[in-house]
């Protein structure tokens, strides 16, 4: 059973230092959040899991870390300047602004008035000025998706790696959207991270690759602890497709506030590379692109048999990191009843995602021999490079167990007087709460096997 409500997650995140409202001491900034000491570890672990699967475990994908600031021409030819809009409605009585598609019963969501403006398009991109002169021309955009920087680097990556299609370019990074109604905690925010793969394929093989990536992505979310039956596969109706898409499948997850998109997997055809390319007329582009007068690169590959230049099709699995964090937190959150009318909150995260892999707890807070021994064990485990290990020297074993249950630490290792004599420790398992006595030399093997789960 996942969490029952968003409030449970929000409260845990604040209490234990996963996620804070940004600039809270000045009243916050709507739709923007900060990741605290545990949140930054969880988020990094999720990104690492994605990178390992999407880049390291394959020979047909290369990585990229491109800039956030984006030349306005990129977003002109990508179609974002024209079409990256939401329909916006104002309440004439209370001045509340809403997305037209979020309005229920034609009433203002704030005051209930029906005195509303007609919907009008509102561009979601953030503009910023470049250089000391702030005029109408010296602006750039904060990228609204990481994808465009992949397309503009297509030739650089091909030329430097000699890749041939099918192959992909993967990137994780920030994206910015001036959402009209950011809401539901980190679900819909104005500054977020995406994990995107642009996988370039031959036209005609695109539909097969699209199905392949849908299966791969569902299976990856399962490996992160997201139950398959809480993911719905939604084939987006034709009339709702983005301007670049021939077909999109959304992986819809049952978040605490409702079933919504966790990841989109789109068939972007040859629209993007075609739009950013020079000499478009020579490239047999199959979609309608804007006539490009500015690009200095031909974003195409040569067909070795026909010698014709062809613009590859693109399959794009695009996942939100923040929505991923919310989903894995939601899946892992449990409130359990214990004996003696007690209860506990436990975050049953997959160990590879846990912010802390092990807590080393000296049984006596002020006993130098035990504390020093504990530090030694902590240092040894930390040096394995398997993730964060902490020394938890509170002197209260029960309280330490509760804390580490709540933050998802898979094991607690207690050091006591016997440890000094026989080099054994007590290992307490987060999920079963069972305790085992093992040799200190076996800790490394235990930790490694946990992280394989
Ligand atoms: N490059 C394709 C693209 O950006 P998208 O469906 O607009 O497609 C992809 O976004 C993913 O990015 C979404 O599935 C979602 O996980 C995440 N995302 C989009 N907007 C977001 C927002 N305002 N806050 C948090 N995550 C968001």
320 in contact with ligand 1, CB cutoff 6 A: yes
User: pTM of the full predicted structure?
Assistant: 0.95
- Indicate if the alpha-carbon torsion angle 21, 23, 29, 31 is positive or negative: negative
5, 255 Cβ separation under 8 angstroms = no
147 in contact with ligand 1, CB cutoff 6 A: yes
Token duo for residue 222: 């399962």
177 in contact with ligand 1, CB cutoff 6 A: yes
DSSP SS3 for 418: helix
Nearest CA to ligand 1 atom 4: 145
Nearest to 354 by CA among 16, 39, 10, 55: 39
| pLDDT tier at 134, thresholds 50, 70, 90 | confident
140, 168 Cβ separation under 8 angstroms = no
Nearest to 309 by CA among 165, 198, 206: 165
Cα 192 to its chain centre, rounded Å, is 8
Distance CA 328, CA 226 (A): 6
pLDDT tens digit string along 45-102? Answer: 999 999 999 999 999 999 999 999 999 999 999 999 999 988 999 999 999 988 898 8
Which atom of ligand 1 is nearest the CA belonging to 264?
14
Residue 449 confidence (pLDDT) above 80: yes
Residue 300 Cα to ligand 1 middle (Å): 27
Residue from 323, 325, 328 whose mutation best tests the ligand 1 pocket (most atoms within 8 A of CB): 323
Which pLDDT value is given to residue 296? 97
Residue 242 Cα to ligand 1 middle (Å): 12
Strand order through the sheet with 167-176: 61-64, 167-176, 191-201, 313-320, 258-269, 247-255, 231-235
Token duo for residue 217: 């992505």
Which pLDDT value is given to residue 407? 98
Residue 453 confidence (pLDDT) above 90: no
Which pLDDT value is given to residue 1? 73
Strand order through the sheet with 97-99: 97-99, 85-90, 120-123
Nearest CA to ligand 1 atom 6: 264
pLDDT tens digit string along 22-51? Answer: 999 999 999 999 999 999 999 999 999 999
DSSP SS3 for 179: coil
179 in contact with ligand 1, CB cutoff 6 A: yes
Nearest to 404 by CA among 440, 343, 442, 354: 354
Within 10 angstroms of residue 371's Cβ, the number of other Cβ atoms is 17
| pLDDT tier at 328, thresholds 50, 70, 90 | very high
pLDDT tens digit string along 282-306? Answer: 999 999 998 999 999 999 999 988 9
127, 178 Cβ separation under 8 angstroms = no
210, 318 Cβ separation under 8 angstroms = no
pLDDT tens digit string along 353-369? Answer: 999 999 999 999 999 99
Dihedral, CA of residue 28, residue 104, residue 10 and residue 26, to nearest 10: 10
175 DSSP β-pair partners:
192
Which pLDDT value is given to residue 136? 79
62 in contact with ligand 1, CB cutoff 6 A: no
| pLDDT tier at 124, thresholds 50, 70, 90 | very high
Within 10 angstroms of residue 58's Cβ, the number of other Cβ atoms is 13
The stretch 224-244 carries a mean pLDDT of 95
Distance CA 241, CA 393 (A): 55
Across all residues in the chain, what is the average pLDDT? Answer: 96
Residue 324 Cα to ligand 1 middle (Å): 11
Q: Which residue has the tokens 């230092």?
A: 17
Strand order through the sheet with 139-142: 69-70, 139-142, 127-129
**Can you give the C-alpha Rg of the chain in angstroms?**
26
Beta strands in 243-355 (DSSP E): 247-255, 258-269, 301-302, 309-310, 313-320, 333-337, 343-347
331 in contact with ligand 1, CB cutoff 6 A: no
pLDDT tens digit string along 244-256? Answer: 999 999 999 999 9
| pLDDT tier at 3, thresholds 50, 70, 90 | confident
């Amino acid at each position: 059973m996942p969490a029952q409500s968003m409030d449970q997650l929000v409260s845990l995140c604040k209490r234990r230092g996963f996620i804070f409202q940004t600039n809270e001491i000045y009243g916050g900034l709507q739709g923007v959040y900060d990741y605290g000491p545990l949140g930054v570890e969880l988020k990094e672990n999720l990104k690492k899991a994605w990178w390992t699967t999407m880049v390291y475990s394959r020979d047909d994908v290369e990585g990229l870390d491109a800039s956030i600031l984006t030349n306005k021409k990129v977003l002109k030819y990508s179609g974002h300047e024209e079409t990256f809009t939401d329909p916006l409605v104002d309440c004439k009585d209370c001045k509340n602004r809403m997305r037209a598609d979020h309005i229920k019963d034609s009433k203002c969501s704030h005051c209930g008035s029906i005195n509303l403006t007609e919907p009008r398009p509102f561009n979601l991109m953030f503009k910023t000025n470049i250089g000391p002169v702030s005029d109408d021309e010296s602006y750039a955009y904060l990228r609204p998706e990481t994808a465009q920087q992949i397309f503009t680097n297509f030739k650089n990556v091909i030329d430097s790696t000699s890749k041939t299609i099918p192959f992909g370019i993967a990137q994780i990074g920030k994206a910015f959207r001036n959402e009209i109604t950011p809401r539901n905690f980190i679900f819909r925010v104005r500054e977020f991270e995406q994990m995107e793969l642009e996988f370039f394929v031959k036209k005609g093989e695109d539909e097969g690759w699209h199905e392949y990536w849908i299966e791969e992505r569902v299976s990856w979310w399962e490996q992160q602890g997201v139950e398959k039956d809480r993911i719905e596969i939604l084939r987006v109706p034709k009339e709702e497709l983005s301007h670049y898409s021939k077909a999109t499948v959304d992986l819809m997850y049952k978040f605490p506030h409702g079933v919504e998109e966790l990841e989109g997997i789109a068939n972007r055809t040859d629209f993007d590379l075609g739009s950013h390319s020079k000499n478009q007329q020579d490239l047999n582009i199959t979609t309608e692109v804007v006539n490009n007068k500015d690009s200095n690169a031909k974003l195409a590959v040569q067909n070795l048999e026909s010698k014709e230049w062809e613009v590859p099709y693109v399959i794009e699995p695009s996942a939100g990191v923040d929505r991923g964090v919310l989903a894995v937190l939601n899946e892992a959150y449990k409130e359990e009843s214990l004996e003696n009318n007690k209860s506990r909150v436990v975050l049953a995260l997959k160990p590879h995602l846990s912010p802390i892999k092990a807590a080393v707890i000296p049984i006596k807070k002020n006993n130098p021999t035990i504390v020093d021994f504990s530090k030694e064990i902590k240092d040894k485990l930390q040096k394995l490079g398997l993730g964060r290990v902490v020394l938890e020297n509170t002197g209260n074993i029960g309280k330490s167990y509760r804390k580490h249950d709540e933050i998802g630490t898979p094991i607690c290792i207690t050091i006591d007087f016997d440890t000094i004599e026989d080099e054994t420790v007590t290992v307490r398992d987060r999920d079963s709460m069972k305790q085992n006595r093992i040799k200190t030399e076996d800790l490394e093997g235990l930790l490694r096997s946990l992280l394989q789960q």
